Amino acid sequence: MAVCIAVIAKENYPLYIRSVPTQNELKFHYTVHTSLDVVEEKISAVGKALGDQRELYLGLLYPTEDYKVYGYVTNSKVKFVIVVDSSNTSLRDNEIRSMFRKLHNSFTDVMCNPFHNPGDPIQSKAFDGIVSGMMVQTG
């Protein structure tokens, strides 16, 4: 279960960011922001020639003592970032992948909505629902 989920546009501004409210949200925002550097580094590591080989799932971006940050980038350079609690060791890599997959699906659905302008903050209830389902269920 994630503690923070963020969707960042190509221009690196957030389209959607949501964290477990009990914690200091600013900290998560900052974490997500710094993780963008790692994301950029990873996606630029693969050269242009290998553009299509680049995998969408970036994996663990970096761990801290409190949490781990995972990244995922779409072909249109929209980035998804998930922050999970380090104490939550039962999360497998595949589960993270499936979370990203779900996020990507929901994001695509949001994009399909003609009333949604790409670049606007995401206000879809369906998307919110998906994200809530992935967040840590805090009391």
Partner 1 sequence: MESLTLSDVEQKYYSDLFVYCDTDNTKKVASNGRVLDLFRAAQLPSEVVLQITELCGATRLGHFGRSQFYIALKLIAIAQSGLPLRVESLNSVKDLPLPRFVVGKNEAEARHAALYQDSDSQGLYPASATAVIPRPPGRGHQNKKGPPTSTSLPLNTAPEPTSPVVSPHQSPPTSPHSWRKHKRQHSGGNPDRPPVVAATGAVWTQFREPQSGPVSGDGMWSSHSPPLPSQESWVSFTADTPPSSTLPTMHPSSVQESTTIRTVASAATTNEIQRQSSAYDDPWKITDEQRQYYINQFKTIQPDLTGFIPGSAAKEFFTKSKLPILELSHIWELSDFDKDGALTLDEFCAAFHLVVARKNGYDLPEKLPESLMPKLIDLDDSAEVPEPTTDVGYSASPVEVTPSKSPSMPSLNQAWPEMNQSNEQWETFSERSSSSQTLTQFDSNIAPADPDTAIVHPVPIRMTPSKIHMQEMELKRTGSDHNHPTSPLLAKPPEMSEEAKLPASMKFVAANTVGDGYSSSDSFTSDQEPITRQRSQSGTSPEALKVVAPPPPPPRPHPSHSRSSSLDMNRTFAAASATGQPQPSTIAYPPAVPPRPLPTQGVSGGGAVLTTTSPQQIPQQPNFADFSQFQAFAASEQPSSLPEVDKHSDSGQVGRDGQAEIHLSTVNSGSSGPLAPPPKPVRRRLKSEDELRPEDEQHGPQKSNVIAAVLATQPSIPRSVGKDKKAIQASIRRNKETNTVLARLNSELQQQLKDLLEERISLEVQLEQLRPFSHL
Q: To which residue do tokens 């995922």 refer?
A: 72
Question: 56: buried, middle or exposed (CB in 10 Å: 19+, 13-18, 0-12)?
Answer: middle
- C-beta separation of 51 from 75 below 8 A: no
CA distance 40 to 58: 11
Instruction: Name the one residue in this structure whose structure tokens are 């003592």.
Output: 65
CB under 8 A: which stretch of 1-9, 23-31, 54-62, 80-88 binds partner 1? 54-62
Please identify, using beta-carbon distances, which residue of 33 and 57 lies nearer to partner 1: 57
Query: Which member of 1, 36, 38, 57 binds partner 1 (CB under 8 A)?
Result: 57
Positions 100 through 139 that interact with partner 1 (CB under 8 A): 101-102, 104-105, 108-109, 112-116, 123-126, 130
Using CB under 8 A as the binding rule, whether residue 42 contacts partner 1 is answered as no
Closest by Cα among 45, 65, 58 to 8 = 58
Scanning residues 8 to 37, which ones bind partner 1 (CB under 8 A)? none
Q: Which residues bind partner 1 (CB under 8 A)?
A: 43-44, 48, 51-57, 74-77, 90, 92-95, 97-98, 101-102, 104-105, 108-109, 112-116, 123-126, 130
